[in-house]
Structure formats: structure tokens, C-alpha cells
Structure 1
Amino acid sequence: MPWIAQNNPVPHGNMLRKPACDWGWDWNIALVPFGLWGAARIEPASGPRIRRLALSQSHDGGRVVLTVGVHTDEAEGAPFAVTFAGQTIEGSIANGGVAVAFEVENPALWWPAGLGPQTLHDLQVRVGETVERRRIGLRRIELVTERDAAGLSFGFRVNGVPVFARGANWIPADALPGRIDPAAVRDLLESAVAANMTMIRVWGGGRYEPDWFYDACDELGLMVWQDFMFACNLYPSTPAFLAEVEAEVREQVARLHHHACLALWCGDNELIGALSWFEESRRDRDRYLVSYDRLNRTIETALRETDPQANWWPSSPSAGPLDFRDAWHQDGSGDMHMWSVWHEGRDFEHYRSVRPRFCSEFGFQSYPSMTVIRRFADPADWNIASPVLEAHQKNAGGNARIAETMFRYFRWPAAFGDFVWLSQLQQGLAIKTAVEAWRALKPHCQGTLYWQLNDTWPCCSWSSLDHGGGWKILHHMARRFFSPVHVMAVPGADGLALLAVNDGRGAVEIRVTARALRLDGSARAIAAATATVGTTAAERLLLLDPAGIAGDELLAFAWDASDGTTGEDIWSPRPWKAWELPDPGLAVETAQEGDGRHVLSVAARHAMAFFVTAEADIPGRWDRAAIHLHPGRPARFVFNPADPAARPAFTLRDLWSATIRGQT
């Protein structure tokens, strides 16, 4: 059985039920850890035991029925009591278990982040002296796939409300399971919500996360797309292997199915594509396709028998059930993985060439932040071609692709720190281009989950959060381009459109102003508009003629909405390297507040300063990054150090200082 050698320096990992990325990946170190992890305990073999709970919800108007099935061992005749929402049902166990139902009128529902509260109700089940507890969010999540003129739609509806999924892919929080800390993981998930994400995809080459992970997602309102743990390989379909898979699926579904956050179970990651990756499967596709189908049907059957209410999707990417086409480039149906910009070296505008119904993977690499690089590299190794830096790049050709893209869009950076910063800036611009292009297609497109949220170790990767939880520039930008109410510039054949999206539950009024901006900060008004924007589709606010912007001007636009949302952005009609940027004359004043926070007041005295970012030489978190500063409009940058007693030194970077100053 072949394996994906370019991601697995240790071979044949697909033959064992172990996290695929343990064998290495194009972002993970190959450690292949083994041994016990998690809890170890002794349970009595006699006396009543609760084998599992089977929960289901029925929603009808303002009424919900929660059915609790209690499966027991050694409990015949034992007393039971089930308590939920202020009601208790009691009795005696018969025939190996019992099922009880609770009716709740006008319940407080669970909603994804930003759409309503994350109300959780306590459930307690007692059989004899054995007690099981769950926290239940009353909600209905539907996967909506409907045939239309373009193909097959793909989106989620929560409590009857269509929800555009904004988020990222999740991988294990560390390459060594024993180092994973619940508090640190919760911090990563909180960062996802802070960046206006509503969904994460637990990727199929990692692991099924512990209960506390899904508890945190329940509490934070972060929907979970859950892959079964099969990724990028061909797998056996022998009776013995499939029996092990069936037991795995039943165990994990029974453990996790009650979580309010759980939106979807997906059969695998990229196994359909893997059918064409290996000489063996290309030569004998029918044989390997039948083998895959046996595996996929085993997973689906075990899922549906364990949780009949589960939302199921066969694979990611997939054009739909029993559709084995190439969903990397097939954008009309199902979910799509769009990797042409990174792996094929296309420009960022190529993201606009596809119209996905739901893009569940797309990404662009950057270097980790300097505070992370200092953990593994001495200053003598601060060179992209040094052996140390290359050892922390696991994607073949990754460093070259980052540098090649820099040549395309920017002048070459002046120093290593500038290179690192610029790599993160271009990563943010790549993902911003994709997300805004696809949000502008709403409702044709119903979700964007970029690759990836987090890292397993300090390395060059596609993540927006550094290993350790620090925010890269992409994450700061994601908080803006994932804002539920957002305005974006989208070029098209008929001009440059300013479009608005509203992912809330009610219409908002948005006012937008557009100006032509010169590098010295002077500007002239072009147009303004006010419109009521509903929740179902992106709305055009303005259509601008690019010819109306002079050769020495950029487009600056700002907006405010009736829900309190405000924002501003700049659209450049040509690559940033084409501009003769003047020295903005950045000035900074620093102060420390009583709670240990450091506040930098930064002003541009002479000209526009683009993508201004403040850095510290110690771990911590900034409130913003990569913002544009207009002369006469200073901005505050707030830094919260991980150690409040530490004394940081600060560095300011902007496009002029990183690419012009050191070369004049």
C-alpha cells in the first residue's frame, strides 16, 4: 500500500491507526511519539455502569424535545434518575437501558459566536451510584446541499438561520501530545473567536481532540467541522482493518455527538484526490476506488447507526456523495480545496478565478514571528538559507515560493527582521484577497476556512497563530476581513465595486465614502453611498471607474454601520513595489499602564505609512497590526506582555522602513 512520501519521511503510517501527522507533514516535525497519554483509571467490573448516552433533539417552533437514551451494563433493576432543564425523570433500568424525553417550551437556544448566546443546560444521569454529566446546547444545525444552476450548494443553517462559516483549519496544538495544555488550547480557540471566526475544521490528519476541547468550543460558540482521522493516503479495506475503523467511529461519535458545537462529520481529508497521486492507484483505479468506497461506507454506516441525526459529508474536498471528481479545481459543487496560488505559484488575483460554494482549505505560508524564531535560532542563523531556518521549513520549495512572491509584489526587504515581517504581510494579503473575493459571492459561497489556525512546533507554515499562541499579521487582518459586517473592494470587468456583507441576523444600514489618496496623505472625495444591507447576499454599494483614480493615487474607503461596526481600507491599483514611497516620518511615544500593558502612540508626520506594525522582543499580544496611518491621525498600539514584569524593547515596521529605508 503506497503512502504520501512527500509528507511522511517515516513510511507506512497509513497502516496504523495513529495521527497521520505524527509521521511528519509539510508543516510538522517527524517524531512518531508513542505511549500512553491522557487519563488512566480503574473501573469496577461489577455494579451498574453507564456504557454510553445517546442524545437527540427535535425542534418544532418554540418547543424542543431532548431524548436521552441510557445504555447500561450490570444495571438490570437499578434505580435511575435523569435531570434536565429543571425536570427529573426516575425509574428502574430494564432490558439494558432506558430512554426518556424532556419537553422544553420556548428554550434558550445555543448560537454560534456573534449570532446569539451560547446557552448550555446541565444534564445529569444517575444509575445506581454511577453519574454522568453533560452540558447541552439546544440547537438545530443543518447541512444544506441543494441542486441549482451552478451545481450543488453547500452551507450551514443554525436554528433556521443560514450561517456563513468564517474560520480556519485546526491541527494538533503540539507535535508531542504530552505537551498539550488545556489552558493554552483554550487561548488558541479564544483567539479564533476574537478574529470573528465561527467555525474550525478539525483536520483528518491529526487527532480526535479530548472532551475539554469540544467543551471549550461549546462555550465559545465555535462550530466544529470534524473530520474522521484519515488524510492524504490510501488505506486498507481488509475485514480486520475495517472492523477497527468501525469501532473507532462508534466510540468517537458516541463520545462527542452531544456537543452543541459539532456541526459536521466528514469522512476524510483528500482521500479522493489520493486515488490519482500514486502510480499503483493510477494503474488500477477501479481496485483502489472500490477499496476507498468500502472504507467510506464503513465510516458512514457506523456514524449513522450511532447518531442518526449527524450531518455527514463523505470527504473533503468533495463535489458530493458518490461524486469522485477533482474537487480541487471543481468549484460548482460541494466543498473545495484551493491550492493553486501556493503550490502552483499563481498570483493572488487567481483566487478570483474560482467561485467555490464553500472553500474548506486554502492557504499561503509565512515565517514565524521574531519572538518565535529567537527560540530556535541564534542571530548568526537569521538568514532564510541557513541550515537552521531551512530545518524549520518542511514544505519543499516553501522558502523559494515565499521569496518569489515577495519579488512579485514588494521591493526586497532591507534586513532579516523585515523579511520575516514582509512574509507575514504578504500571507495576510493573500488570504484577505481570497476571503473577500468569496464573501462577495454570498450566497453562492457559504464559507471560507483557511489553512491553518495553529502550529505544532515553531516553523514556517500557513498558520495565523504562532506556536505558543502569538498573533501573526494574518490573524490581525482576519479579525478585520472576517468582521460580520464588512465592506470590500472587488475589481471586475465593469469596474471596481465596493461591496458589503452582513452575516448577522438583522439588516443594517451602511454608509461608505470613497476617496482618491496620494502618498503625502492628501485626498479628494470620489463618491459616497448609504444602503440597507440584508443578511442573505452581498450588496453592491458603489461601482467606481478605476480610470477615475489618477496614476499617483490609491483608493481609500471607510464605512460605518448602524450596528456600530466601523472600518476602513486601502486598495492599490498596482503592486506595492511600483510605488516610490516617501519617508512617513513615524514618531512614537510609549507609556506603561498600571495593569502591565504598554501603549504606543504612533504618528506619521510627513506622509502615509502603510501596514504599520509594532513588535516587541518578548512574548505577548498586540491589539492591532498592519494598519495604515494618515498624517495627523495617530494610532494607539497596546501590548500585553506574557510576563507583566518584563521590560520589552519595541520595533516599528512599515512598508517604507522595511523595503526602502535600508536601501537608500
Structure 2
Amino acid sequence: MTSTPLVRRPLTQDWTLTAGAGPVPAAIEGRTITATVPGCVHVDLLAAQLIPDPYLDDNESLLAWIGRVDWTYRTRFTWSRGDRDRHDLVFDGLDTVARVELNGTTLIETANQHRSYRLPVDGLLVEGENDLVVRFTAPVPYANAQSLALGVRPRPYPLPYEAIRKSACNFGWDWGIATFTSGIWREVRLESWTSARLDRVLVDATPDGDGGVVTARVQIDRADAGAPLAVRLTVGGESATVPISAGEATVHVALDRVERWWPIGYGAQPLSDVAVELVHAGGVIDRTERRVGFRTVRWDTTADAEGTPFTLVVNDQPVFVKGVNWIPDDALPVRVDRARYRRRLEQAVEANLNLIRVWGGGIYENDDFYELCDELGLLTWQDFLFACAAYPEEEPLRSEIEAEAYENVARLAHHASLVLLTGNNENLWGFEDWDWKRRLDGKTWGAYYYYELFPRVIAEIAAHVPYAPGSPFSPGGQHPNAEEHGTMHLWEQWNRQDWLTYRDHRPRFVAEFGWQGPPAWSTLVRSISDAPLTPESPGMIVHQKAMEGNVKLTTGLVPHFRVPEDMESWHWAMQLNQAIAVRTALDHFRSWAPHTMGAIVWQLNDCWPVTSWAAIDGDERPKPLFYALRQSFAPRVITVQPRESGLAAVLGNDTDAAWEGHLRVRRLGLDGTVHAEETLPLSVAPRASATVPLPASVAVAGDAASEFLAADAHDARGFWFFAEARNSALTAAQFDLSVKTVPGGSEVTVTARSLIRDLTFLVDKLDPAAHAEEGLLTLLPGETATVRIRHRGALDAEALASPAVARSANQLVTS
């Protein structure tokens, strides 16, 4: 008997798209459109130039009809009977409500974007041409109908995203466009096989002393009950083979020596290639591969005198989490490829981040995302896809969610970067504080999923992956957003309070907080054509999704800076205030380590051009907030913090080496005059922080409006300004600037002739592709700094020094 390997045939060619029932424009009705698979309706309509770009001006509202229309995808493919007798159509993702037909026979009706489908078609394929059709039902009316059938539940937005297993933010969010997509959004293929195939493969890599063990738990689908089969596991040049007589088997490979995988900043990220093969008659009939890293991970939630910590421990090393929240990187996620993932995640590395939280209102990202996080050492925290709403526990959602959970936990659990699965975003908090109990009036809200289903699934197939029922969450059963316990979300500052009140909190772990700011100038003017462009012009309001967003921007600015009258200065003021707000919070949180052991900023990225909380805008451009993240999350930092006894310098040392030396602290006038100076001993253990109380000679100002404090040690520096910028005597920035051409761009050298606060070059105004590697620079009179700027064309000194490009806080204080 000979072995016959499984064959995978992609079915991605020759698809067409047609509109069905719904409010279809006359120009599209009855038209056959070339379709891209994987893809979505919007991508195809854009390629055919049948719709305008939904990201420009108010095109979002012009295209809302797409989500109220049924769409049909169709292709024909040839097939001939060969030597394989089992054939499956496999859809890795259908978005969302679909009916799949082969040669006129309905194979399945689906309603879940977050899972795949395997459809046996042995008796339906015909010699020659086969007709494959996928008919999508419009998602908006479907969700509305399901909401009526399941019962209306609390949520923050009008459309009932909780009633359909589709990306919640696809219906719009306070930073996101509503696109209401439909489409075959992940790969479709025909798999042909004989005897057996691999069904589910679970791989776990566990360190053991200097060595390690790789375990594969394999389930197979058998066509021939009598065929002798075996499973072979290969890793690091070692193999083990076990027979598989029924439907499943477990195989181990022990390695004498392995290198540990570490988060970035804590060590290297060695990965091992793992092959799992199904063997029949001496040949391989199916095979899958994984890449694994050997590490241990746990979250320390042992109660202490101050509450309940939430401390990540990797390879027995506590890790201060420097994190960001992640949303889909494009509101049309099918356009995000591996190269785009890499660009975004490398920006995260550049910003000194070590963890990405994949938020529960988006999607389970493509495998490329998690593979790149493994390679880069970026830890991942993955929410199950539930956000800010009460979710029905009844059928048909109940079974769909169970299938979705099993599939995605199995897909992700082997990744070295994965350190936490979380049941939902803010639903535990919402149930307690957002008047849900009264409005639910006894209806289910999702507790079964968070407290029963997900823990059971993880215990069964991925017991090595930590789990929390929600974010925020208190491990000891306290209020889910209790400051003293577990994880906390802090949104009162943005919504109602000044950002200085971040300092009123000492949470154990901050899983969400943030501040808004507009996108880069070139992103703004590309996407909005208002004339004149103002903070309140129509396009600006369309691209501001937060409730009373502009009001909150202004309210949050005026305690610190006056509101500028011209648009470009308004843009800079709001970007700068966003950066300072988050920097202030991060410096404060980090100063309380190890009481506080992590902060996850909302948010890293945007999915379209919008005023939002992101550090990187929808056109992939970093905002000043990006530089704030980079500074506050640097391996070694000095910040000056208020304490009960006065001011203190807090030194954070997130390296493996002790930090020894002296701390130089000066109280200076804005003109650079030294009013007082102290030199203090400095000693910070590895992966630790130290607090140095400051003597009154430097900590108490003689004239708050015209004095500040600078604390220096080696290459780190912290500042304290005794007065808010708007109340200070800060003068116009004066500096000399020179430009030197270097490979890939320019080096700009700035020499300050006055105190300059938070100097940032908005170089995208000169070249939309340009990016300054440093920003938010504060220079004392006489100091020099060099900033590398990546760009393609030429940049001259006069243009770089112009007030619209060389921006500083000084410009928001002086006229």
C-alpha cells in the first residue's frame, strides 16, 4: 500500500461579485464586478472605481448602503477525479452571514466571521467545471433582526453588534468608521486526501532545566479505519513517532539543551521549527509546522498588604509591562498584509514597547501578526471578541462562540509571545456600573462565556496559557475596576478630568487609558478637503468619532495651554497635549513600580484617518505621542514626581545591569541661570526603581513662573516645571539649525539659544513620507541635539526651521 499525500488547492482566482437585494445604486445594479479573494466588497468596488474612498471627507455616510445590500461571489473551477477519494472545501473566514453553494447544492449557512468552515464535497464535485457560489446576506438588517430575536441588550452604540459574531468595530466605534463589510475575507481552498488528515494539532514547548520538551497533541480525521498510521514530531534535529490507532495521539520530544525565549529588552527570542507529520505506509500524507519558543509565563496575583498585584512573570523574571492596545490596522482588514504588520510592530519596538493587547472589539488577527510578535519579542495579550456590551448566551450564538473559542485558542496557543487570554473588554465593569442590571431585566449578558466556557476550553486544550475573565478584572472578586486589585481602566481623565489627576491613582496595573489628538498634518489634509479647514469644519467633525470629542480636547488643553486661533497651531497644540498627558501618566505609573507593574496605553494604531487616541495614525505616520511612549518606556528613565514630603527624583532601571553613579539636580531659570544645584548618590538595582527625595534647595522654586528643575544621570534626564506652560514666563524658542545629508535621509542638528520645550519636527509637512526619529526634545540654552530624519527627497535648513515645521511648546505660550 502506498501513501497519498493531502493536496491543498487555493481557490482564489476568477471570482466575480454582484449586488443583490437592497438599496443598490443604479451604476452597480446588475453589474458583474471582478472580485479579489481573499477580500471584501469595498475592495472590489474601489478597484472597479465604482465607489469613492470611504476614508475621505464624508464618504462614510455615502457608502452606508453597502451594509444593507446582499452580495454574491461566484467562481468556476475545473476538477478531475484523481487518486484521492476525500475532498473538502475549506473557508478560513467568511464575513459574515453567508450561504455556500456548490453546483446548485447548499453546503452550509454561516453567521460567524471569527471561525473557519470545512465542508465535505465528495459527492458534489463533477468532472470538468464546477460552480462555487457564496451568497452574503446584508449584515445590518441581519444584526437588527437577531437583536429582536435574542432580545435587546445594553451597548454604547446604536447598531446591535452584540447580536452577530462579527467584528464589533465594523459597525463603527469612537475612533472608527462604520464599513459593514461582506466578503470572503480569508483563504478558500479545496483539500483532497485519502486515508486520513491532520485535524487539530496542539503544540506546547516547555523548558525543563537546561533543556525542554515539545509536546504535540494530534487529532485526525480518518477515511480508512484500517490504515496503519503514525504521528511524527520533529524539532531541533530530534524526532519521535507514535502510532495513532484511533482519532488522537500525543507525542513528545525532549531536548537536552534549549535557549529561553524572552520578551524584548530581557533577552533573545530564539525560536524552534516544529514539524508534525501524519505517516502512512512509510510516507507523509499530511504535515503542519509551528515555531515555538521555550519560556514559562504566569501572572502573580498573590494578595499583599496593599491589595492584589497583577505582575507578569516570564522565566521567573517579573516584567514591567510597557504596552499598547491594538485595533484592526485598517477598517478593511483584508488590506493588512504581513509587510504592514511588520511595519507597525517594528514601530512598536522603536517605541520601547514590550506588549500588544489585541482588543476585544476587533478581530483575531492573521497568523502573520502573532508570528512577527514571536520574532520581535513583543508579548501578546489576546481578548476574546466581546467588547462594551451585554452578549446573549442563547442559541445560535452560544454554539458559534464555543466553536470560535476552540478554534482560535488552538490556533494561537503555541505562540511564545502569547501571555494572556482575556474574556472580554469592559463587560464585567459594564455589568456592575453602567446600569446594565436594571436594563437587562434578567436577560443573559455573557457571564457563562467569561466564567465557564472560556476557562473550560483553555483548560482542555491550552492549560499553559493564563486567562483572566475580563479587562478590567480584580482576581479576588472585588469590583472589576478596583484600583487596589488586578487590572484597571482609567477613563475619567479624558472624559471629565484634567490629565494631572492621573497622579491621584496608584493602580496595580493599568490596562487602558489614553488621550486624543489629531493625526499627522499630511494625513489630515489628504483625507479632509474642507475649505477652510477648522477644528469644527464638516470633515473634521466626521473624522472625530468621540462623543463631544472636540469639547474634551479643548477642556483638556486650557489648564495647560491657551487654545490657538489658527488651524495649524490648534493641530499642534492638541497633538502636544495628547503626548504630554500620556507621558505624565506613564511617568507616574512607572514611578510606583513594583506596586504598579504595567501600563497599556490606548492605543497604538488607527484604522483610518481620524482624530483619536492613537500614537500612529491611519496613514501609518507617528504622532508626537509616539515619542512620548519612546521616552517614558526607555530602558532607563528619570522622572521628577510629587510625593507627600515634596518632590522626588524616581529612577527606573529596566536593564540587567545595576545603575550606579551620581544624580545631578539643578533648579534653573528659564534663561539657563543655575539658582541651586545638588549632587546626590545614585544606586538602582537591575530591573528596579529607586526614589531619591530632593532637598528644598532645588525642590522649592523662588519664582514658579520662571524656574524649572532638571535631574540628570548619564544619558537620562527628567524635568519638573513649577508652573503650567500657559502661566509661565517661557519665551519664544531661539535656535540655530544645520542639516547634513546621510544615507536614507538627513541629520538635523539644533543648538538652543533659549530654553526650548518639546521641540518636534513635523516633517511630513515638507515630505509626506518623511519621519523624524526623535521628538519632544527639551533643550537648555547652549545645548545641542541631533535628530535623524528619514526621507526620500531633499530637506533644507530654512524649511525645517520654519515655525510650522519646527514646533515647540514655546509657540503655544508666546504670541
Q: In 1, Cα distance between the equivalents of 2:270 and 2:666?
A: 44
Residue identity opposite 1:507 in structure 2: A
- The equivalent residue for 1:505 is 656
Pick aligned residue for 2:457 from 302, 321, 331: 302
Report what 2:389 is aligned to: 233
Q: CA deviation at 1:348?
A: 2.0
Q: Are the aligned partners of 2:424 and 2:469 in contact in 1 as well (CA < 8 Å)? A: yes
Counterpart Cα distance in 1 of 2:478 and 2:784 = 54
Where in structure 2 are the equivalents of 1:52-201 lying within 5 Å? 52-74=200-222, 76-127=227-278, 128-201=284-357
SS at match of 1:88: strand
Q: Tell me which of 726, 730, 737 is aligned to 1:577.
A: 726
Residue 602 and residue 413 in structure 1: after superposition, are their counterparts in 2 closer, same or farther (change >3 A)?
A: farther
Indicate the residue corresponding to 2:140 in structure 1.
Answer: none
Which residue identity is paired with 1:374?
A: V
Q: 1:268 to 1:550 in 2, by over 3 A?
A: same
Q: Which moved more, 1:197-206 or 1:312-321?
A: 312-321
Does residue 634 (structure 1) correspond to residue 796 (structure 2)? The answer is no
Residue aligning to 1:619: 769
Give the match for residue 740 of structure 2: 591
Asked if the contact 1:110/1:260 (under 8 Å) is kept, the reply is yes
RMSD between superposed Cα atoms in Å = 2.1
Structure 2 CA distance for aligned equivalents of residues 5 and 389 of structure 1: 26
Aligned counterpart for 1:481 among listed residues 614, 626, 632: 632
Letter in 1 for 2:217: G
Hey, what's the Cα distance between the residues in 2 that align with 1:308 and 1:192? Answer: 29
Cα distance in 2 for partners of 1:416, 1:229 equals: 38
Could you tell me how far apart the structure 2 residues matched to 1:521 and 1:2 are? 63
Q: Which residue of 2 aligns with 1:450?
A: 601
Note the alpha carbon deviations across 1:186-215, whole angstroms, 9 max, x for none. Answer: 111111111111111100000000111000
Aligned residues: 645
**Partner Cα distance (1:334, 1:286) in 2:** 28
User: Contact 1:3–1:13 at 8 Å: present in 2 too?
Assistant: no
| Pairing partner for 2:197 from 49, 54, 59 | 49
Deviation at 1:393, TM superposition (A): 0.3
Change (3 A) 1:656 1:531: closer
Question: Which is higher, the Rg of structure 1 or of structure 2?
Answer: 2
Partner Cα separation in structure 2 for residue 129 and residue 284 of structure 1? 52
- 8 A contact 2:155–2:389 mirrored in 1: no
Q: Within the alignment, does 1:210 sit opposite 2:366 as a pair?
A: yes
The 5-angstrom pairing of residues 173-572 of structure 1 reads 173-276=329-432, 281-283=437-439, 287-288=443-444, 292-293=447-448, 296-320=451-475, 323=477, 325-327=479-481, 330-344=482-496, 346-378=497-529, 380-413=531-564, 415-535=566-686, 537-545=688-696, 548-551=700-703, 552-560=706-714, 566-572=715-721
Q: Which moved more, 1:66-75 or 1:465-474?
A: 66-75
Contact 2:647 2:699 in 1 (8 A): no
CA drift at 1:659: 3.9
Please tell me whether the aligned partners of residues 174 and 457 of structure 1 are also in contact (alpha carbons under 8 angstroms): yes
- Worse-matched range after superposition: 95-104 or 368-377: 95-104
CA displacement at 1:654 relative to structure 2: 1.5
Question: Secondary structure of the equivalent of 2:515?
Answer: coil
Q: Which amino acid aligns with 1:341?
A: Q
**Alignment pair present for 1:608 and 2:762:** no
Aligned to 1:563: none
1:652 is matched with which residue? 806
Displacement of 1:621: 1.6
Q: State the alpha-carbon separation in 1 of the partners of residues 195 and 435 from structure 2.
A: 55
| More displaced 10-residue stretch of structure 1: 453-462 or 483-492 | 483-492
Tell whether the 8 Å contact from 1:53 to 1:69 is kept in structure 2 after alignment: yes
How high is the TM-score relative to the length of structure 2?
0.76
Q: Residues 45 and 61 of structure 1: is their aligned pair in 2 closer, same or farther, counting only changes over 3 Å?
A: closer
8 Å CA contact 2:216, 2:252 repeated in 1:
yes
Shift in Å, 1:277: 6.3
Q: Which moved more, 1:212-221 or 1:442-451?
A: 442-451
1:488 Cα deviation from its structure 2 partner = 1.0
Whether 1:26 and 2:174 are equivalent positions in the alignment is yes
Query: Is the Cα–Cα contact under 8 Å of residues 281 and 288 in structure 1 kept in the other structure?
Result: no
* 1:249 aligned counterpart, secondary structure: helix
- Once residues 294 and 178 of structure 1 are traced to their aligned partners in structure 2, the CA distance between those partners, rounded to angstroms, is 28
Matches of 1:550 and 1:279, distance apart in 2:
50
Matched to 1:243, the amino acid is S
Structure 2 counterpart SS, 1:526: strand
CA contact (8 A) 1:276 1:282 kept: no
Letter in 2 for 1:180: V
TM-score (norm 1): 0.93
Query: Does the aligned pair in 2 maintain the 1:381–1:388 contact within 8 Å?
Result: no
Choose the corresponding residue for 1:13, options 161, 185, 189.
161
Quote the sequence identity (%).
Answer: 33
- Counterpart CA distance in 2 for 1:136 and 1:500 is 35
Over 3 Å counting, the alpha-carbon distance change for 1:556 and 1:482 in structure 2 is same
How far does residue 287 in structure 1 lie from its aligned partner after superposition?
4.9
- Structure 1 residue 281: Cα displacement: 2.8
Deviation, 1:569, is 2.9
State the SS of the aligned residue for 2:637.
strand
Local SS of the residue matching 1:50 = strand
1:365-399 CA-to-partner distances (Å, cap 9, x unmatched) read 11111021121123724210111111100001111
Q: Using the alignment, how far apart are the partners of 1:60 and 1:326 within structure 2?
A: 36
CA contact (8 A) 1:165 1:446 kept: yes
Residue 414 (structure 1) shift: 5.1
| Contact 1:2 1:234 (8 Å CA) reproduced | no
Quote the Cα distance in structure 1 between the aligned partners of 2:152 and 2:746. 54
2-side partners of 1:37 and 1:90: how far apart? 37
How far off its partner does 1:357 sit? Answer: 0.9
1-structure distance, mates of 2:519, 2:154: 26
Contact 1:369 1:421 in 2 (8 A): no
- Contact kept, 8 Å, 1:529 with 1:542, in 2: the verdict is no
Shift of 1:305: 1.2
- Residue type matched to 2:165 in 1? R
Report deviation, 1:360: 0.3
Identify the range of structure 1 (202-211 vs 509-518) with the bigger mean alpha-carbon deviation.
509-518
Paired residue secondary structure (1:460):
coil
Distance in 2, matches of 1:469 and 1:540, equals: 38
Measured in 2, the distance between the counterparts of 1:131 and 1:283 equals 51
